[in-house]
Structure 1
Amino acid sequence: MGPQPKILVIGSPEGLADESLWKSFQSQYRVRMYDFPTLDGFHTSLRNGECSDIVGIVRLGLNIPQGIEKVGQGWTQRGLPYFPDSLRLIVNFGHGYDEEDIQGLQKKGIQFFNTPGGDEATAAVGIYLVISVFRQLGRYEKMLRQGDFLPALRDSAKTAVDTLGRHIGIVGMGAIGKAVARHAAGLGMYIHSLDRPNLRAALSLQGDDAASLSLPPITLAQSLDELVGKVDCVVLACSYTPQTHHLLSKEVFARMKHGMRIVNIARGKCIDEDALCGALATGQVAAAGLDVHYNESVTLPSHAEQERLPRALPLVSFPPFYPFSN
């Protein structure tokens, strides 16, 4: 019987995997825990070092020891030239893979898997952000923490509004978008979405099949321009593709209702952030709640830098809360 297959694990399973499951995993494979200070050191090991005979990589991405360079998004593109011939499988903890070189991996006979599920959790964040951009919760929380109780109270009386009776447009009606629609309907909102054959078919179902979907009434728009002209809030829950790159652009912002709210639980690159900043500055967009950002690998601004950013931009960012600037 040959040696057990060697698996490289990037990040600690603590808090992610049950202890008994982790012990079982360790009993079946030779586990090499990632401890390379730099990506260059990692790549060297893949080519002719300790990792030159691995058959699989599990990237958890969390709990990386201090002082070790982060293995962030796009890591398979950077590592592709160094991956050994023995590598057959990559399991990536996370939903996104648009920045990974899937075609390049396939050409080398390497299968790539990401994490399924999480639809309800993502939808819950989306609904939190919807409520936040209408009530501007993030902005007023920050003001309260700074001791500006009365200014927050006076400002909220003018600008904080309820979701009841508002119209929400959801772009991307997969599992996450459908969950957002159900929860938004529970807030008394009217649901709009783009007309797509699969959504129209779901809405036309009768009997038990329709009940299992639990979809509220949805008004279908024939185009994005038509959708953004009718609703009070746009929620992006779509995949990132060349077609959805900068889906919300300067031109699209100009066609929206004045005082529009924006929520993005899709991918940061679905929004032209320069255009968003401009729309926020003019009030065309009243507030935006972003679960994702265009470039998530950069260091967030320090507290001192945050204080120098324009306070006129009531943008909610989750997590953490900080004013947004390009």
Structure 2
Amino acid sequence: MTASVRPKILLLGVVHFIDKDILKRYESEFELINYDITTKEDLISKLETEFNDIVAIATVWFSFVPVGGLHDEKLLNALPKTLKVIATPTVGVDLYNLDALTKRGIVLANSAGITSDDVADIALHLSLSAYRFTSLFENSLRTHRNTLSARYVVEDQFDKAAGRASSEDVSAKRKMVYGHLVGNYKVDSPKGQVAGIVGFGSIGRAIAKRLAVLGMKIHYLKRSPLTESEIEELGGTGSTPPFEITRHETFDSLAKVSNLLVLVVPLTSDTRHILNERTIALLPDAARVVNVGRGPLIDQKALIKALESGKLSSAGLDVYEQEPLIEPALAERHDVTLLPHIGSCTDESAQAALENCFVNIKDVVLGSGKARNSVN
């Protein structure tokens, strides 16, 4: 194939993320065009002119984020008729209007399964932090710079409504404490407690394996029983899982037994605010909540209210309802571990997910016409 007729791929987003070796592997087959969005109007103009013969879009990190996703009708109408596939390095596809893309015959391919282990590692970190209150203890230690004082104020001077321990100097009056209490709350071991996982795809199953190692009882939400291949992915054989595991068909049923609730389900109209004031009330008292899925899965105001009241003992969050901003009340609480949406952020995952974009594009444009990770 000569350079003059190479199919064109629009690399949309922050291109410096991509390893140069990955680009070299595909430059002989495709013409790669770099473009970072400035405004919606400029993107529409370019799609209708200099990008009007592209066959694929590889959405590098942040891609359509500056224009609020690929939902705007004018933007959708500007997509070239030559466009066959949009490939994203993410798992979530809430930035895209799936129905509109399907009607236009455009394949949307994600990178499901590529980053599962790294996201599961962060979920494990947040789960352990929620049980052991590590963010609270760390902030106390940074404030007091004394291990005895740090433990003492967490036990004796913890304000649950504020989610913080006292910053007052207690060196003259502190007592020796063990560190097993946070105010009136016990610092529990996760062993023997129920972990309820909402979303049992590749990430959910990777989380299950990690929490099972801690001795937790794994419950999960899934409409159909696990297949043999899914059981094998967990480390089992045939129809026998490697550890005790219980399926629930409704969220309410799962919530009622979950000492730890882990959210990793995609964001849809059905899952938006799946954790809200009503469903939080179903959880056991002093439950923990971890979210590595999408921020709007949780009604954050209801979450904060439950933390203030003591219905929830702690939480661990990697995603937020109004991302990139976070609720000020969450930022002030030390009984919540906060991470800046870094669940999949290792270099290995980044490069593998980006290469997966090119693999999906090649399959559609030069291969069978089907993407291995098609979501529509």
TM interval, short-chain normalised? 0.7 to 0.9
Inter-CA distance 194–25: structure 2 relative to 1 (3 Å threshold): closer
Q: CA deviation at 1:13?
A: 4.6
Inter-CA distance 215–238: structure 2 relative to 1 (3 Å threshold): farther
Secondary structure of the residue aligned to 2:27 is helix
1:29 aligned partner? 30
1:98 aligned partner? 94
CA distance in 2, matches of 1:103, 1:313: 42
Structure 2: give runs of 5+ residues left out of the alignment. 156-178, 343-376
The equivalences for 1:156-235 within 5 A come to 157=179, 158-159=181-182, 160-194=187-221, 196-199=223-226, 210=237, 215-221=242-248, 223-235=250-262
Q: CA deviation at 1:58?
A: 1.0
Q: CA deviation at 1:269?
A: 2.0
CA distance in 1, matches of 2:295, 2:330: 20
2:131 aligned partner? 134
Match of 2:70 among 45, 56, 76: 76
Using CA pairs under 8 Å that are at least 6 residues apart, name the structure with larger relative contact order, 1 or 2: 2
What TM-score do the two structures reach when normalised by structure 2?
0.71
**Identity within the alignment, %:** 30
CA distance in 2, matches of 1:168, 1:210: 22
Secondary structure of the residue aligned to 2:131 is helix
User: Number of residues paired by the alignment?
Assistant: 305
The equivalences for 1:144-163 within 5 A come to 144-147=141-144, 149=146, 150-154=148-152, 155=154, 157=179, 158-159=181-182, 160-163=187-190
CA distance in 1, matches of 2:336, 2:302: 14
Secondary structure of the residue aligned to 2:243 is coil
Q: CA deviation at 1:140?
A: 2.8
1:280 aligns with 2:307: yes
CA distance in 1, matches of 2:298, 2:138: 25
The equivalences for 1:264-275 within 5 A come to 264-275=291-302
Inter-CA distance 195–21: structure 2 relative to 1 (3 Å threshold): closer
> Over residues 214-233 of structure 1, what are the superposed CA-to-partner deviations in whole Å (9 max), with x where a residue is unaligned?
53102445643343333321
| 8 A Cα contact 1:9 1:57, kept in partner | yes
Secondary structure of the residue aligned to 1:40 is helix
Letter in 2 for 1:6: K
Inter-CA distance 320–139: structure 2 relative to 1 (3 Å threshold): farther
Match of 1:10 among 9, 12, 15: 12
CA distance in 1, matches of 2:330, 2:265: 30
1:315 aligned partner? 336
Inter-CA distance 247–51: structure 2 relative to 1 (3 Å threshold): same
CA distance in 2, matches of 1:29, 1:54: 10
| 8 A Cα contact 2:86 2:106, kept in partner | yes
Inter-CA distance 111–230: structure 2 relative to 1 (3 Å threshold): closer
Structure 1: give runs of 5+ residues left out of the alignment. 65-69, 322-326
2:50 aligned partner? 50
